Amino acid sequence: MSFKLAIDGGTPVRSEPLPPLLRGALMIGAEEKEAVGRVIDGQAPFRYYGRDLQRYVELLEDRIAHDAGVPYALGVSSGTAALVVALKALGIGYGDKVIVPANTFTATAGAVIVANAVPVYADIDESMNLDPRDLERVYDDEVKAVIAVPINGTPCDMDAITAFARKRGIAVIEDVAQSLGTLYKGRFAGSIGDIGVYSFQMQKILTAGEGGAVVTKDAALFERAVRYHDQGGFRDKARYEIETNEQNGFVGQNYRMNELAGAVLYAQWERLDGIVTAMRQRHRSVRESLATRLPQLKLRQSPDPEGDTGSVFGLFLPDGGAAVRFAQAVEAEGVTCFRMYGGKPIYMTPYLLQKRTAEKGSFPFDYPFRQPVDYAAGMCPAAEQLLARYVHIPISPTLTERDTSDIAEAVVKVYEGLGFS
Ligand SMILES: *Cc1c(COP(=O)(O)O)cnc(C)c1O
């Protein structure tokens, strides 16, 4: 091995690129094609009726509910739609606040605002997820829910989050968009809070290009979710033992999943176990190899390492400058290495920081909250510090043994070469 870093003109650890950063998308194959073919042959791309309806969305919902261990699952058009549906099922809207972790994708905060509520940001800990110890600080009696977001396959500390929510009488939403297959103490992430949300966008674990799902144990929440996603209606009364009538209707949206997406996702769902098992195994192999060679490495923590999907290998550098140099140098060695969200908390996104919405005036931020909502740099100091220092290497389920040993090699070479050890 060459000790001169590739970034300084040395020979890179790898000359072949690692597999692209997609999971389910790269496994789309004969099964998806066949299922989609049936929908086309049946001329029935709409989920509720058609010439020869294949009921793929229904089959998918049954699989999701079964594997999540909940009675109800609803396919929707995207993860963002699923978040809005979850918020509206809970009756959250104008005049409400929702706790959002400082580290998440923009859609978590965006969905709260689109639902006419406003986000308040809680800090994170070394799991890179919401720090339950910060919930009390951001809570006031205008807060109606907290959104737990397991980032890139690491579960949230759900015992502490649900204990806090119960004490304060607020709801728990799980935004599991990035983390399908994550377990927390043996329970399927998404099934632990009041309502859980998945995404099937292209970057996620399974995909139909776009798509999402909502899961819950609560029949009343489920009925409201179905109604919000389907123009206020509830068509499938026969399928559920839910007593309902049109008095329960309200103005909804169209966030329905179509049968083509349902067909692809029904076939993709069969691949979930294999993908997660493969990522966990490859994550373990990188971790074990580094544990002996670089025991001082500061790794991302997890409240339940067994339940982690292993979709990324995350670590902390001594400071922000070191993280930038480390990521660039590892990339130069031929190993993909990222900082998350530009190394900044989500509230630093200019339109979120400045409360810019598509609405007139400053709606929904114009609500006369008793405790005003103000955003500023420095709000969540741990998130600012941790995100600056954090980098991760994506772990593909298709990595070979050679690939995982190259990843470990690149980390050791750069960590030592940049003088961090
Ligand atoms: C991707 C993502 C979403 C949004 O899902 P879409 O299907 O793209 O709408 C929401 N939350 C998180 C944490 C995500 O990563």
Q: Does residue 107 have its Cβ closer than 6 Å to ligand 1?
A: yes
What is the pLDDT averaged over residues 338-353? 96
pLDDT at 421: 83
Q: What integer is the mean pLDDT of 182-193?
A: 98
Instruction: Report yes or no: 410 and 333 within 8 Å, Cβ to Cβ.
Output: yes
CA of 161 to the centre of ligand 1 (A): 21
Query: Is any atom of ligand 1 closer than 6 Å to the C-beta of 80?
Result: yes
Query: Does residue 118 line the site of ligand 1, with CB under 6 A?
Result: no
Confirm or reject: Cβ of 116 under 6 Å from ligand 1. no
Query: In which band, very low, low, confident or very high, does the pLDDT at 204 lie, cut at 50, 70 and 90?
Result: very high
pLDDT (mean) for 117-145? 98
Q: What percent of the chain has pLDDT over 70?
A: 100
Q: Measured from the CB, is residue 130 less than 6 Å from ligand 1?
A: no
Q: How far apart are CA 390 and CA 340, in angstroms?
A: 7
Structure confidence at residue 298 as a pLDDT band (50, 70, 90): very high
pLDDT digit string (tens) for 237-288? 889 988 888 899 999 999 999 999 999 999 999 999 999 999 999 999 999 9
Helix (H) or strand (E) holding 73: strand 72-76
Q: Is the peptide bond before 364 cis (omega within 30 degrees of 0)?
A: yes
Residue nearest to atom 1 of ligand 1 (CA): 177
For 30, 196, 222, the CA distances from 166, given in Å and listed in that order, are 46, 17, 20
Q: What is the mean pLDDT of residues 132-149?
A: 98
Residue numbers annotated as active site: 204
Say how many Å lie between the CA of residue 178 and the centre of ligand 1.
7
What's residue 2's pLDDT?
A: 59
The encoded tokens of residue 383 equal 């998130």
Instruction: Tokens 């809207």: give the residue.
Output: 93
* CB of residue 252 inside a 6 A radius of ligand 1: no
pLDDT given for residue 1 in this prediction: 53
pTM flag (> 0.85): yes
Ligand 1 centroid to Cα of residue 293, in Å, is: 36
DSSP 283-334: HHHHHHHHHHH-TT-EEPP-S-GGG----EEEEE-SSHHHHHHHHHHHHHTT
User: Over the chain, what is the mean pLDDT?
Assistant: 97
Number of Cβ within a 10 Å radius of residue 219: 15
Task: Say which residues have a Cβ less than 8 Å from residue 368's Cβ, sequence separation at least 6.
Answer: none
Name, in order, each residue with C-beta under 8 angstroms of 315's C-beta and a sequence gap of 6 or more: 297, 298, 299, 300, 390, 391, 392, 411
Per residue in 96-105, pLDDT (tens digit) is 999 999 999 9
pLDDT tens by residue, 356-374: 999 998 899 999 999 999 9
- Is the beta carbon of 108 within 6 A of some atom in ligand 1? yes
75 Cα distance to chain centroid: 16
Closest to 54 in 3D by CA, of 31, 72, 35: 35
Q: Is the pLDDT of residue 110 over 80?
A: yes
pLDDT band at 184 (very low <50, low <70, confident <90, very high): very high
Query: Would you state the pLDDT for residue 242?
Result: 87
Residues 41-80 have pLDDT tens digits of 999 999 999 999 999 999 999 999 999 999 999 999 999 9
Number of C-beta neighbours around residue 77 at 10 A? 20
CA of 148 to the centre of ligand 1 (A): 13
191's tokens:
């099934």
Query: How many angstroms separate the alpha carbon of residue 22 from the centre of ligand 1?
Result: 15
Report DSSP letters for 195-263, one per residue: EEEEE-STTSSS-SSS-EEEEES-HHHHHHHHHHHBTT----GGGTT----GGG-----B-BPPHHHHH
- Provide φ and ψ at 338, rounded to 5°: -120, 155
Residues 6+ apart with CB under 8 A from 280: 308, 309, 310
* For the CA of 210, the nearest atom of ligand 1: 7
Residue 3: pLDDT band by 50, 70, 90 thresholds?
Answer: confident
Q: What are the tens digits of pLDDT across the range 161-172? A: 999 999 999 999
Judge whether residue 319 has pLDDT over 70: yes
Query: How large a percentage of the chain has pLDDT more than 90?
Result: 95
Asked if residue 132 has pLDDT above 60, the reply is: yes
SS3 273: helix
Closest residue to atom 5 of ligand 1, CA basis: 79
pLDDT reported for residue 237: 86
